[in-house]
Amino acid sequence: MKGISKMIVSLDSIIQYDLELDKTIRMNDWIGKHITLSWNGDIFCPSCQTKTKKSFGEGFCYKCFISAPEATECNLRPELCRAHLGEGRDVEWEEKHHNQPHIVYLAASDKVKVGVTRITQVPTRWIDQGASSAIRIAETPNRYEAGILEVALKSFFSDKTNWQRMLKNELDESIDLVEEKWNLHDQLPADLTKYYSENDEIISLNYPVIEFPIKVSSMSFDKTPIIEGLLQGIKGQYLIFEGGKVLNIRKHTGYSIKMN
């Protein structure tokens, strides 16, 4: 069995999560039940599928970490993207994934966060980061333009998610995303607002959680090859167990896992 990938998500009144193992498992069905996840020690690079003793980034072997387009730096820093110039680690991959329409967005949780994602990744990206709600700010023709706008917005908002507060569901209910969006418009230079979106729809996200923890502590298969407990819920790409123990599935991309 090859390694796992992040859970597949779908937007519904309650977000639905599927985990691909030897078969597709609807994880929502296991909330409120005792589950066991066991790692056999194998890690398979998600890019080349070869077995690796140690993973880099999100599951990559070292060779792919420094050469594969999926691990390129502009995935984290869009302003460095060169796809619109016909450049990159793999020009065909860059054309398909980065020289495509992107959105800049605001996401709310305990505070307002700014981010960038390919337009086809809406609302997946918002769900994966555990946002409570999100709104589009701008739609750009490529990743680079979105990155330039995001850099300007970082002086107003963070681009980081506090994973502990997110999992404890610490929300700022006073956040008005529409107001925040248009306040920004008046403070930015005209060349950065040319792609501003008139779409003010706020997408609200509801996660399948029985009870949010008061305190959280992260678990890892590297330290605990067998992880088990009562599944209390799922938020972002985290499984939340009774007692505040949490497991980041995305962090373990490539790990060969079985579930009982």
Query: pLDDT confidence of 187, banded at 50, 70, 90?
Result: confident
**Domain ranges (residues) in the chain:** 1-52+209-260, 101-206
- pLDDT of residue 1 exceeding 80, the answer is no
- pLDDT of residue 245 exceeding 80, the answer is yes
- pLDDT at residue 77, rounded to an integer: 95
- By the 8 A CB rule, do 108 and 133 touch? yes
Rounded-to-integer distance, Cα 173 and Cα 69, Å: 39
Rounded-to-integer distance, Cα 30 and Cα 181, Å: 38
Rounded-to-integer distance, Cα 55 and Cα 251, Å: 10
This prediction has a pTM of: 0.93
Q: What is the pLDDT of residues 140-155, one digit of tens each?
A: 999 999 999 999 998 8
Phi, psi at 149, each rounded to 5° = -65, -40
Q: What is the pLDDT of residues 3-51, one digit of tens each?
A: 999 999 999 999 999 999 989 999 999 999 999 999 999 999 999 999 9
* Dihedral sign of CA atoms 4, 10, 11, 16 in order: negative
- pLDDT at residue 97, rounded to an integer: 96
Beta strand pairing call for 245-248 and 217-219? parallel
* More confident position, 161 or 106: 106
- By the 8 A CB rule, do 16 and 7 touch? no
Tokens in use for 249? 């599935």
